Amino acid sequence: MDYSIKIGGEAGQGIQTIGDTLAKVFSRAGYYVFTHQDYESRIRGGHNFFQIRFSDKPVTASREKIDILIALDKESIEQHEKELSELGQIIYDSATLKQKHEKSYFLDIPFVTLAVEHGGNKIMANTVATGSVLGMLGMELDILLAIIKDTFKRKGADVIKANINAAMAGHDYAIKQCLKCAFSVAQISKPRMLIAGNDAIGLGAIASGCKFYAAYPMTPSTGIMLYVANKAREYGIVVEQAEDEIAAINMALGASFAGVRAMTGSSGGGFALMVEGLSLAAMTETPIVIALAQRPGPATGFPTRTEQAELQFALYTAHGEFPRVIFAPGTPEQAFYLTNKAFDIAEKYQIPVFILTDQYLADSQWTFDSLDLSKIKYTDYRLREEVFKNLPEYKRHAFTENGVSPLGVPGDAKHLVVTDSDEHDEKGHIVEDAETRIKMVNKRLFKKLPLLRKEIEPPSFYGHSDPEIVITGWGSTYGVMKEAVDELSSNWDIAMLHFSEIYPLPPTNKFNYLKVLKNAKMTICVENNATGQFARLIRTETGYSFNRLINKYDGRPFTVDGLTGELYALIR
Amino acid sequence: MPSLDNYKGQTPAWCPGCGNFSILKTFKDALVELGIEPHQFTIVSGIGQAGKFPHYLKCNTFNGLHGRTLPVATGIRLAKHEMLVIAVAGDGDCYGEGGNHLIHAIRRNINVKLFVHDNQIYGLTKGQASPTSMEGMVTKNQPFGVLSEQLNPLALAVALDCSFVARGFAGDTEHLKGLIKEAINHKGFTLVDILQPCVTFNKINTYEWYRQRVYHIEPDYNPEDRVEAFKRSLEWGDKIPIGVIYINNRPTFEDRVPVIKGVPLVRQTFDASKIENTLKEFY
């Protein structure tokens, strides 16, 4: 079994509530779930949708065919009727949409009337719709009822009761009326974890001991701040909404200088304002983690859509030459572990580390068995209190074998912690001389670089062990590429290389990915941008050029069907 | 107890006769009299002649970017509010490049002590107009004279209900020392605008020019009267008031952030064992 459900409507109609609830029902029931969202930059109106795919086998992307469309407005039908699968059904409320459809795959369910009759209020129409979907699928209501009890705990027994009645009304109606419903769901029991990209980064930050998060709200990065802010009291984290992104990164640097793990996040335009702060982090060797959630540019671009066009920006932005590390997780699970690694590397080497995502990954939910907390690394690299006090002498930017100087917490000892955005000596004071300059650049950049390279893990390799065709990608395209490989593997010897630790480029000694590319007959770099930025990075750093590029820059993510189609066309 | 010797820093690279020298000397005197030791506080500075200030005394130092002193100082305070944090900036630095940060630091009432070395000119970049340059001042870069109205930082601060607003004069060091001490002892965000002659580039607002105009705010003046404070902050020209213009004892930002109410953030240990429970919320 492998079903897709799409909820379409205007902003403000509750699409996300229905989607989140159904996704939770499926993941608790033990299915593999993948969801993604498509929304406009508005709070009311327009056309948005939430798509859920669930299966008894792993799913890592959305499909184009829809099995159940919940149409909360007319446009949903106009736009998505053509996406219906052979089994597909459209449910709608003819009284709300003020139109009646006679085709056999339409099922008119009076969401509002049932909500009023059974729940006592029309606002429960979405609960009716949620119950209806489960009825159509032949699923029981127990999990949904438990979720309702949880969700409305604070609103009291009456609200819970009303919602339960509404859900049951929708469920019963669908069972009785959907004569064409031929869905059959497998029986699974072990609940799975359901988590979105932004939440995974927030959770990863918290699990890494992040104590300070300053940012300015900007789609699609805002969710990270919201997640951390929600946990601020429980975990003792200061979350500050700064007056602008310039302030955000400088606040985070101040907090980091004062001895706590600090992070900021933004998207392209906001991050553009942080760029001088990035350079400041480098010069003062102040650890910082930056989440950069990409969206289509230039300028304001498509505020709520997706693109992978900020790779070169993250790679090369900021004045001066300094080391940086860039991670680009492909799944929420990778986002969690890589956020942890980002905090560790940032502090260990006193450098800026990026987590590069995009709207697609930020808002997509995936299921996992669990997250393994034993893999979380937490080493405090700072000199604090007694340890710091007991040092005979201290120089914040001391020349050392590996270029990493002792990171003392100011005020913890009599030693003074001095740092400067000007070029400085070992003690942190301003200098002008050439000799110190050279030694400092060597320390900050050349001594750390080889150590950083050693920290980077190779790309993941999936598919045929000796492939003729290799598709390569980075970041959020992981799931789509993986399913495309599965689709095409019966026709060709095909494999995928996926990079989630992208800069410095992974060394080839652990896994010689360049050899895999060179041995293949055809190599294709798949990117959600117009110019193939990662392909260019590979060429710049290794001299290797991909045979072909597949680029998508319409602001929408790749779909398995879309990518498979493009690959067919190229390979044939 | 610290002595002046404890505060001997690097050799200043300022012009001979610069108003910054007397501010530096007065600052050290105030710190010694307050009994504050060099490791007990951090100075955050930006870029400009004032930005070099922390290097010339001894203290924890974050000499950051032009205009960005206050966000860095805010981050330090939120992470470690047991430590005194002083921000030192110039008029271009704080009122030009960092204007937005000033507005919001005042709104937050973060307990940072801001001292602005206000010489009404850009010194480090050699003599262009600053936000506080007087209208009509001719410079190499403003050949038609300054066309914009002079920024009034004190009126701005009073309008924003800043917790502590004062003006000092680098040529009146005893008085300035009192203001520095009062600001450091005040709980809340403090703005001390220090009139500082630039002997090289500002040929209008000289020691003599200031001396003829500044006067001490009278002892019976009530700095808690906001309307009077606003009136006083508007005085400029023949008579320029120096002293504490406005005080408002509202709660600091640090007092209002629940997470750091008890223990400073930097002293709070990280308890990883709770994560297991948080994971359950995703099922």
Question: Six-digit token pair at A26?
Answer: 């499926």
Q: With an 8 Å Cβ cutoff, are A207 and B10 in contact? A: no
Q: Do A255 and B258 touch (CB under 8 A)?
A: no
- Both tokens of A27, joined, read 């993941």
User: In one letter, which amino acid is A477?
Assistant: T
Residues on chain B touching A27 (C-beta within 8 angstroms): 283
Residue A42 has pLDDT above 90, yes or no: no
Q: Position A251: which residue type?
A: M
Residues in chain A within 8 Å Cβ distance of B70 = 247
Which residues partner with A102 through β-bridges?
none
Closest residue in A to B41 (Cα) is A411
Q: How far does the CA of residue A39 sit from the closest CA of chain B (Å)?
A: 23
Instruction: Please tell me the predicted confidence (pLDDT) of residue A36.
Output: 94
CA distance B209 to chain A (A): 33
The mean pLDDT value for A245-251 works out to 98
Residues A111-149, buried b or exposed e (16+ Cβ, 10 A)? bbbbbbebbeeeebbbbbbbbbbbbbbebebebbbebbe
H-run or E-run covering B177:
helix B173-185
Using the beta-carbon criterion (under 8 Å), do B276 and A209 form an inter-chain contact? no
Residue of A191, A193, A418 with shortest CB distance to B60: A418
- What does the alpha-carbon distance between residue B177 and residue B129 come to, in Å, rounded to a whole number? 28
Within an 8 Å CB–CB cutoff, is residue A119 touching chain B? no
Q: What percent of chain A lies above the pLDDT cut of 90?
A: 97
Tell the burial category of A177 from Cβ atoms under 10 Å away from its Cβ (0-12, 13-18, 19+): middle
Interface test with B, best of A238, A422, A427 (most B CBs within 10 A): A238
Best of B40, B78, B253, B275 to disrupt the A interface by mutation (most A CBs within 10 Å)?
Answer: B78
Q: What is the DSSP letter of A529?
A: S
Which of A193, A257, A376 shows the shortest C-beta gap to B76? Answer: A257
Of A194, A258, A371, the CB nearest to B80: A258
Give the number of C-alpha atoms closer than 13 A to the C-alpha of residue A516, restricted to the C-beta side: 27
* 3-state secondary structure at position A339: helix
Strands of A522-527's sheet in order across: A460-463, A494-499, A469-474, A522-527, A548-551
Strands in chain B per DSSP E: 41-45, 60-63, 84-90, 113-118, 164-169, 190-195, 214-216, 240-247
Which residues have CB under 8 Å from A166's CB, separation 6+? A114, A115, A118, A119, A124, A125, A127, A128, A131
B262 pLDDT above the threshold of 90: no
- Which of A31, A343, A381, A421 to substitute to test the interface with B, most B CBs within 10 Å? A421
Within an 8 Å CB–CB cutoff, is residue A419 touching chain B? yes
Q: What is the pLDDT of residue A347?
A: 98
- Burial A344-374, CB ≥16 within 10 A → b, else e: bbbbbbbbbbbbbbbbbbbbbbbbbeebeee
Q: Determine, for residues B276 and A373 on separate chains, whether the beta-carbon distance falls below 8 Å.
A: yes
CB nearest to A260's CB, from B59, B266, B275? B266
Point out the residue among B60, B68, B272 whose CB comes nearest to the CB of A411. Answer: B60
CB contact under 8 A, A199 and B282: yes
Q: Which of A208, A210, A246, A251 to mutate to test the interface with B (most CBs of B within 10 A)?
A: A251
A246 has pLDDT over 90:
yes
Is A235–B274 a contact, with Cβ atoms under 8 angstroms apart? yes
CA distances from A390 to A385, B38, B40 (A): 9, 18, 17
pLDDT digits (tens, 9 = 90+) for B69-111: 999 999 999 999 999 999 999 999 999 999 999 999 999 999 9
Testing the interface with B: which of A257, A336, A367, A417 to mutate, by most B Cβ within 10 A? A257
CB atoms closer than 10 angstroms to residue A478 = 24
- The pLDDT value recorded for residue A185 is 92
Closest residue, chain A, to B73 (C-alpha): A254
- Say how many C-beta atoms besides its own lie within 10 A of residue B127's C-beta: 17
**Cα distance between residue B172 and residue B175, in whole Å:** 6
Mean pLDDT of A166-191: 93
Q: Which helix (H) or strand (E) holds A175?
A: helix A157-177
The verdict on A404 touching B (C-beta cutoff 8 Å) is no
B residues 78-97 lying closer than 8 A (beta carbon) to A: 78-80, 82-83
Average pLDDT, chain A: 97
pLDDT in tens, A276-301: 999 999 999 999 999 999 999 999 99
A44, pLDDT greater than 90: no
pLDDT of B57 reads 93
Q: Do A419 and B61 touch (CB under 8 A)?
A: yes
Query: Which of A238, A410, A411 lies at the smallest CB-CB distance from B257?
Result: A238
Closest in B58, B83, B265 to A411, CB measured: B83
Rounded to a whole number of angstroms, the distance from the CA of B252 to the nearest CA of chain A is: 15
A257 contacts B65? CB cut-off 8 A: no
Residue of B nearest to A28 (CA): B283
Instruction: Give pLDDT, residue A187.
Output: 86
Sheet holding B164-169, edge to edge: A418-420, B60-63, B41-45, B84-90, B113-118, B190-195, B164-169, B240-247, B214-216
Which residue type, as a one-letter code, is found at position B202? N
What residues of chain A, 264 to 323, have a C-beta less than 8 Å from chain B? 276-277, 280, 284
Smallest CA–CA separation between B278 and chain A, in Å?
Answer: 9
Place of tokens 């410095």: A504
Give yes or no for A325 touching B (CB within 8 A): no
Residue B242 has pLDDT above 90, yes or no: yes
Rounded average pLDDT over B48-66? 96
Residue A43 has pLDDT above 90, yes or no: no
Residues of chain A found within 8 Å of residue B56, distances taken between Cβ atoms: none
What pLDDT is recorded for position A45?
86
List the one residue out of A488, A499, A571 whose CA is nearest residue A542: A499
Is the whole-model pTM more than 0.90? yes
Q: Which has the higher per-residue pLDDT, A572 or B173?
A: B173
Instruction: Report the pLDDT averaged over residues A496-509.
Output: 97
Provide the residue type at B215 as one letter. Answer: Y
Which token pair is A361?
């990954």
Cis preceding-peptide flag for A298 (omega within 30 of 0): yes
Task: Give A189's pLDDT tier (boundaries 50, 70, 90).
Answer: confident
- Is B265 an interface residue toward A (CB < 8 Å)? yes
Confidence of residue A180 (pLDDT cuts 50, 70, 90): confident
CA dihedral B213→B219→B224→B230, nearest 10 degrees, is -20
Tokens describing residue B160: 């924003």
Which B residues, 43 through 72, put their C-beta within 8 Å of a C-beta on chain A?
44, 47, 52, 54-55, 58-65, 68, 70-72
Query: Cβ of A231 under 8 Å from any chain B Cβ?
Result: yes
Q: Of A243, A331, A365, A426, which to mutate for an interface test with B (greatest number of B Cβ within 10 Å)?
A: A243
The whole-number pLDDT of residue A188 equals: 83
For A460-476, the pLDDT digits (tens) are: 999 999 999 999 999 99
In this predicted model, what pLDDT tens digit does every residue of A270-282 receive, in sequence order?
Answer: 999 999 999 999 9
Retrieve residue B144's tokens: 């038609």
Size of interface A-B (CB pairs under 8 A): 191
Contact yes or no for A207 and B44 at CB 8 A: no
Token code pair at residue A110: 């009076």
Span A394-446, pLDDT tens digits = 999 999 999 999 999 999 999 999 999 999 999 999 999 999 999 999 999 99
Quote the strand ranges of A281-431, DSSP E.
Answer: 288-294, 325-327, 352-358, 365-368, 382-383, 407-408, 418-420
Q: Which ipTM score applies to this complex?
A: 0.98
**Residue range B222-247: average pLDDT?**
98
The CA radius of gyration of chain B, in Å to the nearest whole number, is 20
Residues of A in contact with B55 (CB under 8 A): 418, 420, 429-430
Mean predicted confidence (pLDDT) in A101-109: 96
* Mutate: best of B37, B45, B68, partner A, most A CBs <10 A: B68
CB B33 within 8 Å of CB B185 = no
Average pLDDT of A170-192? 92
* A92 — pLDDT class (breaks 50, 70, 90): very high
Q: Percent of chain A at pLDDT above 70? A: 100
